[in-house]
Structure 1
Amino acid sequence: MPDSADSLGSLAATNAALVEREQQLSVLFDAIADVTFVLDVEDEDQYRFIFANKAFEKIAGLPVEQVIGRYVQDIIPEPSLSLVLTKHREAIARMERVVWEETLDYPTGQVVGKVSMTPVADEHGRCCQLIGVVYDLTKEKQVEKALRVSNERFAYALKATSDAIYDWNVADDTLYWGEGFEELFGYKLAQNSAPFGGWSDCVHPDDSTRVVDGIRRVALETTDLFWQEEYRFRRADNSWAEVFDRGYLLRDANGQAVRMIGAMQDITPRKQAERQQQLLAEKLIGQNADLQQFTYIVSHNLRAPLANALGFSDLLARVDKQSAVFDTSLQNLRTSLQLLDEVLADVNDILSVRDEQAGYRPEPVPLAAVCQQALLGLQEALQAAGGQLHLHIPAELRVAGSRAYFHSIFHNLISNAIKYRADARPLRIDITANTMPAAGLTVTVRDNGAGFDRQQAGNNVFQLYRRFHAGQAGRGIGLYLVRAHVEAMGGQIEVASRLDEGTEFTLYFRPHADENLPH
């Protein structure tokens, strides 16, 4: 039989080894950041703490010495206690690890934890202990909540703005769009994020090089943080919006572009208002200049015949009615009054044009038919001059404008061509009209008449009472009226002429130019 002293020594050594092992395990568990504890399973719902690490003390705010030996219900308050006991029973019944998430109220504050409870069986297969681990999710949940709140704020901000917010992932070359994109431009995104090309393909071709190449150059070839441009962007209905686009670039430590956060703003109404204001300003400046010129010329032209008429009427009262002086004075009086009547007729025509412009409303004008109507009143004069008019305007062409204005324009230009024809050759008049979606309407009236020195005429061609052909009767008001009508419809007129070669008038009307005018 072994000596009793040897048995006691062996037992002591075993106990010492166990103590050392427990100390090592205690040090190991204390080094773990997660809460770790061991419960002895006694009677039903009786679970006694036999171990808890330092993390338990730190989180719970209770010294380990005050926890060891006490029951769960003494440490964990309601309402957490009921949930904990339920999970303990579940782990014992299934003899499997049970995991759940709960919010725990400790003296140190509220803790969100992921709890796992693992049952330990004795030699009979019964649960004798429960090993619990609590992973602290508090900071993660706080970050998650802050992120959720931030996302909610961002979502509300997107709803509150009328801009199309986007996030360009430079590496993936994709764009994530906010809700404003669909609302502003009418597109329904099949996917979000969308390829960069989905945006770049909608930039107007005339703006593409400046905008698309420009944004890539700023992102990839510079260290700039900001980019902005104004450009035209195609809506889903193929109309064009004018947008102001600005973005902020996020770069990595090496200065490489990672993302761009930006916003597209539809500024179409503002740009239209700016153009209308500019047109109105130009029109007002032109009208003021015309008014000054009109006031000066008309007052001068009125003053001369009126003064002559007064002088001759005074003379008639003093001379013998049977004398030659009386007859001559009477004839001169009649001439002065005729001149006065012509000036007053001019005033009436000009004021009528102004009144018509104030009430102008565009209508679809059949241009060829109106030109033919204007020619009817001049056909006899054209035939007498031995001239021919060649009309190259499609019969189906309809132009937004005023039928009366176009009639007046054609009448004045054709009558001028007849009046100022060249004697050395038969008169030929060519009238053409061309339309292009981008350029609008161009009308050309060309003749091979006497022409005039365009350089010498300068900017006076369309002014009142400006005449460039001596010996030909005329009032010098026709071209003034032509320009007034053209500009009233939002167009422009230019003239080219050479002596003894002919004259060409070109009328330009931008697409929907009349819509920018005040009606």
Structure 2
Amino acid sequence: PTTTLPPLAVPSHAVLERIADGYLEVDKNWLITYVNGEAERVLQIDRAQCLGRSYWAVFPNAINSRFDYYLHQAMASGQPVHFEALSTRTGRWLETKALPAADGLAISFSNITDRVTAAKQLAQLASVAQGTDNGVLITDAQGRTEWVNEGFTRHTGYTLADMRGRRPSAVLEGPDTDPAAAAITRAYPQPPGPFSLTMLNYTKAGEKLWVLLHVTPIYNPAGELKQFITIQQNINALKALEAQQAQLTQDLYEHNRDLQQFAYILSHNLRAPLTNALGLARLLPQVGQQPAVFAASLGYLRQSLEQVDGVLRDVNLILASRDQQHRQAAETVELAAVCQQALQHAAPALAACGGQVQAEVAAGLLVRGNRACVYSIFDNLLANAVKYRSPARPLRITIRAQATAPGGVTVSFADNGSGFDQAKAGPKVFQLYQRFHRGQPGRGLGLFLVKTQVEAMAGTIEVHSQVEVGTRFLLHLTQP
């Protein structure tokens, strides 16, 4: 059966003059009976001169074209047709619909030249993009994916079917993606212009993928934003090299720092007792006939050699600590268990001085590091709190640990001991052989080791102290 419109079903000419599409009517003899203003503009004709003339006389270039084929098909079959074709008269691509009516055809069309041109450009770009190893991604003006090349799929694991219609940020970003970089990709600079950006994405398998993005906006001839083209370069190898260089730099820094520390030990702590010992060794043969002087000199010699032995033991302890940190791989450490172990070791000393500890470390709170180092840190801080307690009040120690965002753990170790003048101590608090309580025995090694061990676990430590108020250490560690 044919599909035709009775005369009354055709929209009024007043309405047809206001529609955005071009529109014309022909009768069964192909004579043009109506042309609206948009058709006159798009087809570049004078409608007054076209009315009553044959369609094929007005548009001779349409003979033997797609227009000829589909319009005759609609007229003969009485069935609607819908097609796209290039008008050689105007050089414009037209999307055309022809609907049989009671007395001929109603033909409407719209100019789709921009769309066809963009599609051709996209096809050309696709042809080029398929030959590159870089990922190429095309989104519309709202940032929704329209196309990706094979290079994009190779690097990310996501196919065009995975990405089409989705925003790349919703698919590719992950927990370690820089929020500032992500914000740029979601809200392009206004007005959008070309820009480049280094960003951490994630593959379909969940692996990290560092990329260098080159984003270019595409505008149509009217200056309207139509698309974004993003070239995505895989720079994982470059990032790995940067990390390796950073590690080498850190190792070199630590090596130089160790050399400076050992030079300090040799010049300040080993030189004096060795000089004394050598002087006494030269003196002893000369005082052999004076028993009292000989005995006193021998005692001084023993004291000097004990000082040398103490310094050498310090050096050995530092070297052993560093060797342990470098040999043992990072592990997951439960803070509560290690804290409890250190408290058990300190229990006799705490009981002897009447000290009490309030520990608030949740079970299951984990840090990334080295169990032996974490134990040594707790043990050293507890020993210091006992040693430098205030005689004016019973010792009270508070240990708290809590998770902090993003991915951190803060341990607070506070006591109400004698404290020290922090302004006077300045940056020397954690340096080797620094002591702030002259009335107490010690070599100034404990806090140096604590800081070394915290930093070996990629953490930081800070201290706040006030004379006769107490001392508080804050350890910032990382979660596994």
Q: Call closer, same or farther: CA 1:308–1:216 in 2, change over 3 Å.
A: closer
1:263 equivalenced with 2:236 (yes/no) = no
* Structure 1: stretches of 5+ with no match in the other structure: 1-27, 37-142, 513-519
Once residues 187 and 502 of structure 1 are traced to their aligned partners in structure 2, the CA distance between those partners, rounded to angstroms, is 58
Shift of 1:241: 4.3
1:193 equivalenced with 2:161 (yes/no) = no
Structure 2 letter corresponding to 1:314: R
The 5-angstrom pairing of residues 198-213 of structure 1 reads: 199=170, 202=173, 204=177, 206-207=179-180, 210-212=183-185
**Is 471-480 or 269-278 further displaced after alignment?**
269-278
Identify the residue that residue 460 of structure 2 maps to in structure 1.
492
Identify the residue that residue 141 of structure 2 maps to in structure 1.
170
| Contact 2:433/2:444, CA 8 A, preserved across alignment | yes
The partner residue of 2:130 within 143, 156, 181 is 156
**3-state DSSP class of the match of 1:459?**
helix
Q: Call closer, same or farther: CA 1:497–1:341 in 2, change over 3 Å.
A: same
| Contact 1:175/1:196, CA 8 A, preserved across alignment | no
The partner residue of 1:292 within 245, 260, 268 is 260
Identify the residue that residue 215 of structure 1 maps to in structure 2.
188
Shift of 1:269: 5.2
Post-superposition CA distance 1:433-481 (Å, at most 9, x none): 2234623222222212111122222222221111111111101111111
| Contact 1:320/1:326, CA 8 A, preserved across alignment | yes
Identify the residue that residue 16 of structure 1 maps to in structure 2.
none
1:231 equivalenced with 2:199 (yes/no) = yes
Shift of 1:254: 4.4
Shift of 1:234: 5.2
| Contact 2:200/2:210, CA 8 A, preserved across alignment | yes
Structure 2 letter corresponding to 1:337: L
Q: Call closer, same or farther: CA 1:230–1:420 in 2, change over 3 Å.
A: same
**3-state DSSP class of the match of 1:378?**
helix
The partner residue of 1:479 within 447, 462, 477 is 447
Once residues 256 and 288 of structure 2 are traced to their aligned partners in structure 1, the CA distance between those partners, rounded to angstroms, is 49
TM-score with structure 2 setting the length: 0.67
1:305 equivalenced with 2:273 (yes/no) = yes
Shift of 1:202: 4.1
Once residues 182 and 175 of structure 1 are traced to their aligned partners in structure 2, the CA distance between those partners, rounded to angstroms, is 14
| Contact 1:211/1:231, CA 8 A, preserved across alignment | no
Structure 1 letter corresponding to 2:180: D
| Contact 2:169/2:186, CA 8 A, preserved across alignment | no
**3-state DSSP class of the match of 2:474?**
strand
Shift of 1:496: 1.8
**3-state DSSP class of the match of 2:328?**
coil
Once residues 486 and 229 of structure 1 are traced to their aligned partners in structure 2, the CA distance between those partners, rounded to angstroms, is 34
Structure number with larger C-alpha Rg: 1
* Structure 2: stretches of 5+ with no match in the other structure: 1-55, 65-116
Shift of 1:394: 2.5
Identify the residue that residue 386 of structure 1 maps to in structure 2.
354
Once residues 237 and 447 of structure 1 are traced to their aligned partners in structure 2, the CA distance between those partners, rounded to angstroms, is 49
| Contact 1:434/1:443, CA 8 A, preserved across alignment | yes
Q: Call closer, same or farther: CA 1:394–1:297 in 2, change over 3 Å.
A: same
Structure 2 letter corresponding to 1:176: W
TM-score with structure 1 setting the length: 0.62
Q: Call closer, same or farther: CA 1:151–1:364 in 2, change over 3 Å.
A: closer
1:438 equivalenced with 2:433 (yes/no) = no
| Contact 2:139/2:146, CA 8 A, preserved across alignment | yes
Q: Call closer, same or farther: CA 1:262–1:420 in 2, change over 3 Å.
A: same
Structure 2 letter corresponding to 1:217: Q
**3-state DSSP class of the match of 1:509?**
strand
Structure 1 letter corresponding to 2:293: V
The 5-angstrom pairing of residues 349-498 of structure 1 reads: 349-436=317-404, 438-498=406-466
Q: Call closer, same or farther: CA 1:172–1:478 in 2, change over 3 Å.
A: closer
Number of residue-to-residue matches in the alignment: 368
| Contact 1:200/1:208, CA 8 A, preserved across alignment | no
**Is 329-338 or 172-181 further displaced after alignment?**
172-181
| Contact 2:287/2:293, CA 8 A, preserved across alignment | yes
| Contact 1:363/1:402, CA 8 A, preserved across alignment | yes
Shift of 1:317: 1.7
Identify the residue that residue 81 of structure 1 maps to in structure 2.
none
Identify the residue that residue 343 of structure 1 maps to in structure 2.
311
**3-state DSSP class of the match of 2:190?**
helix
Structure 2 letter corresponding to 1:257: L
1:319 equivalenced with 2:287 (yes/no) = yes
Post-superposition CA distance 1:132-159 (Å, at most 9, x none): xxxxxxxxxxx9xx999947733632xx
Once residues 392 and 227 of structure 2 are traced to their aligned partners in structure 1, the CA distance between those partners, rounded to angstroms, is 74
Post-superposition CA distance 1:213-256 (Å, at most 9, x none): 5415242xxxx3x1222334455566664433221122234433
Q: Call closer, same or farther: CA 1:286–1:198 in 2, change over 3 Å.
A: closer
Identify the residue that residue 300 of structure 2 maps to in structure 1.
332
Q: Call closer, same or farther: CA 1:403–1:490 in 2, change over 3 Å.
A: same
Once residues 339 and 289 of structure 2 are traced to their aligned partners in structure 1, the CA distance between those partners, rounded to angstroms, is 52
Structure 2 letter corresponding to 1:153: S
Post-superposition CA distance 1:262-304 (Å, at most 9, x none): 1233445543543453344234324312321321233331111
What is the aligned-residue RMSD (CA, Å)?
Answer: 3.4
